[in-house]
Amino acid sequence: MNKTLTSIFETQGPQSLNISNQSFSEENIFEEFIDSSFFHQVNFINCSFEGCELLGVNFNFCVFEGCTFNHTIIRKSEFTDCVFKNCQFIESQLTPKTNFFRTLFINSQFSSVDFSFTFLCECEFIEINLIKTKFKGTSVVDPKTEKITFNDLEFDKTKPMRIQITDSLFFPKEI
């Protein structure tokens, strides 16, 4: 019998988890505080994270497909080589000190999302909608973009967003 993420939370609690090579689908995670956990090669298919808080959680080679993050806070967490496909982030915070490395966002929507003080390195953004999204002090290094739609973005003059592109000689250029 395959365990559900909900059953793992009920038996082990949502802290200090170490989950590898599993798939979770059609899960509704409601108001969980997930702390100091590690997910490696985990697939989340059509899962909903409602009112959750993730603190110090690492995701490596994970896939989120058709997932919704509603009123979710992700702090001091890291996503490396992950994919977010057909996902929705609604009134969520991906801040502060949340890092994304080589992560792909495809056909996803961000509505009233706070990316303040987030670090995005070598991430790809394909067919993305950004609506009322904050970028205070956000750092973006070598992004790849295609078909991004945005409306009512928020930046801060005292803590501006930094975008850095590495040229062919590997010397950074700030935009």
| Angle 47-52-58 from CA coordinates, rounded to 5° | 80
Structure tokens at 85: 């496909």
Per-residue confidence (pLDDT) for residue 161, from 0 to 100: 63
Type and span of the H or E element at 110: strand 109-111
End-to-end alpha carbon distance in the chain: 52
Structure tokens at 63: 């896939």
What is the rounded radius of gyration, in angstroms, for the C-alpha atoms of the chain?
Answer: 16
Task: Assign 85 to helix, strand or coil.
Answer: strand
Q: What is the 3-state secondary structure (H, E, C) of 10-22?
A: HHHCCECCEEEEE
| Spatial distance between the Cα atoms of 80 and 62, rounded to a whole number of angstroms | 8
| Spatial distance between the Cα atoms of 37 and 59, rounded to a whole number of angstroms | 9
Q: Output the tens digit of pLDDT for each of the chain's 175 residues.
A: 468 998 988 888 888 999 999 999 999 999 999 999 999 999 999 999 999 999 999 999 999 999 999 999 999 999 999 999 999 999 999 988 999 999 999 999 999 999 999 999 999 999 999 999 988 888 989 899 898 888 877 777 676 666 666 654 444 555 5
Per-residue confidence (pLDDT) for residue 3, from 0 to 100: 85
Per-residue confidence (pLDDT) for residue 125, from 0 to 100: 94
As beta bridge partners, residue 140 has 120, 163
Type and span of the H or E element at 159: none
Structure tokens at 155: 């930046």
As beta bridge partners, residue 86 has none
Per-residue confidence (pLDDT) for residue 67, from 0 to 100: 99
Domains, the chain, with CATH or none? 19-174 (2.160.20.80)
Per-residue confidence (pLDDT) for residue 1, from 0 to 100: 44
Structure tokens at 15: 């802290």
